[in-house]
Amino acid sequence: MRIAIDAMGGDNAPLEIIKGSLEAKKEYGFTPVLVGRMDAMEKALKELGCASAPEGVELVDAPEVIDMHDDPASAVRRKKDSSMAKILYMLRDGSADAAVSAGSTGALLSGATVVVRRIHGVRRAALAPFIPSGKGKTLLIDCGANVECTAEYLMQFATMGSLYCRVALGIESPRVGLLNNGAEESKGGPLQKESYALLKAAGEQGEINFIGNIEGRDVCMGVADVAVTDGFTGNVMMKGIEGMGLSMLGSLKEMFYKNAWTKLAALLLRKELGELKKTYDVSEVGGTILLGIRRPVVKAHGSGKAKDIRSAIRQAVEAVNSGICDRIAQAMETQEA
């Protein structure tokens, strides 16, 4: 398996990107193809104690870099020698099985749509991260790719998200909820009401397991396996959950290090606290796959360190092994038929 990795994307490139890639290689057994400015990558490897690229690691020179100031809609087309553009072209041409980047979300989404292309029948690709909940994980779709949506988009998000949960989590019939400001069928604006009608009809036909409207707190309590919403609402919710998780972990740390007795309690609960930290640690997720693209493209956290990159690569490996893109394509064909 070959995974093309944008070594220049994100706030901590290329050092943390390369470090995370090398760690992931040891754990998941694939061939990392690191794409970026050769001098910068070689310098980072030396800082990591490598005189040259380790065995089984490939370096591809890309003299240009797409940064946050570039226009997302045209960045990949204008900068074809950039690291982000090259990993997408490699994926399109079959010289890579998946692509991972911590660079601009807008540029990656636009580039993946133009270069790799959407699955036939998919109107919009969506960002779909798993977020921690009271009963494990909940898939939030969309969380930022599509600020403005139609009911048809949300219906497709539900279909793709449900299938992804079956593949990734092994849930036979994932519960799909529509994120709204109340549980009643009459709640929400025109988008939510139109989406509810489509999702309800799909549920009655057995296409998805639709459980109705869910509120923000329901997502965190694990009431649904898939929370469907527009990208604006989903992004606000995701970042709110991330902020609350960081705040909670910070408060717990402050509480347990307050005095000798609380430090003793922390020592006794070390295992349990470690599991709690892992549950709410954003770096354990690492990023999110772009559902609806023909081949696996994973967006890693822009401010991520090596651990985040390793987790994002894990998602790419799992996406390739599960054949999720092909399975979504088959589902779209069935819907059209």
221 plus 309 within the same structural domain: no
93 plus 140 within the same structural domain: no
pLDDT of res. 68:
78
Q: Are 139 and 128 in contact (CB under 8 A)?
A: yes
Q: How many helices (H) and strands (E) does the chain have?
A: 14, 12
pTM score: 0.87
What tens-digit pLDDT sequence spans the chain (337 residues)?
999 999 999 899 899 999 999 999 999 999 999 999 999 999 999 999 998 889 999 999 999 988 878 888 888 988 899 999 999 999 999 999 999 999 999 999 999 999 999 999 899 999 999 887 767 789 999 998 899 999 999 999 999 999 999 988 889 999 999 999 988 888 999 999 999 999 999 999 999 999 999 999 899 888 999 999 999 999 998 888 888 777 877 888 888 888 888 878 778 777 777 776 666 665 556 689 999 999 999 999 888 899 999 999 999 999 999 999 998 898 887 665 5
110 plus 136 within the same structural domain: no
pLDDT of res. 281:
60
The residue type found at 187 is K
pLDDT of res. 274:
73
Q: Is 94 exposed, middle or buried (0-12, 13-18, 19+ CB in 10 A)?
A: exposed
Q: Is the peptide bond before 61 cis (omega within 30 degrees of 0)?
A: no
* Averaged pLDDT of the chain: 89
Instruction: List alpha helices for 29-82, DSSP H.
Output: 38-47, 75-78
pLDDT of res. 14:
95
pLDDT of res. 16:
95
228 plus 311 within the same structural domain: no
Q: Is the peptide bond before 14 cis (omega within 30 degrees of 0)?
A: yes
Instruction: Please check whether residue 134 lies inside any domain of the structure.
Output: yes
Given 224, 254, 284, the domain boundary residue is 254
Instruction: Please check whether residue 330 lies inside any domain of the structure.
Output: no
pLDDT of res. 291:
94
Q: In whole angstroms, what separates CA 321 from the centre of its chain?
A: 16
11 plus 102 within the same structural domain: yes
131 plus 248 within the same structural domain: yes
Instruction: Please check whether residue 284 lies inside any domain of the structure.
Output: no
Sheet strand arrangement including 130-133:
130-133, 136-141, 226-228, 175-179, 209-214
pLDDT of res. 278:
65
Instruction: Please check whether residue 332 lies inside any domain of the structure.
Output: no
d(CA 319, CA 266): 37
* SS3 (DSSP) at 132: strand
Q: Which of 28, 48, 29, 124 is nearest to 7 (CA)?
A: 48
Given 254, 272, 300, the domain boundary residue is 254
Instruction: Please check whether residue 286 lies inside any domain of the structure.
Output: no
Residue-wise burial string across 1-37, b where 16 or more C-beta atoms lie within 10 A, e elsewhere:
ebbbbbbbbbebbbbbbbbbbbebbeebebebbbbbb
Count of domains observed in the chain: 2
Residue 163, domain extent: 126-254
Sheet strand arrangement including 31-36:
58-61, 31-36, 2-6, 98-101, 297-300, 287-291, 126-127
d(CA 263, CA 251): 14
208 plus 138 within the same structural domain: yes
113 plus 131 within the same structural domain: no
> How confident is the model over 136-163, as pLDDT tens digits?
789 999 998 899 999 999 999 999 999 9
pLDDT of res. 69:
81
With a CB cutoff of 8 Å and minimum separation 6, the contacts of 250 are none
140 plus 111 within the same structural domain: no
pLDDT of res. 261:
80
Q: What is the CATH number of the domain that holds 220?
A: 3.40.718.10
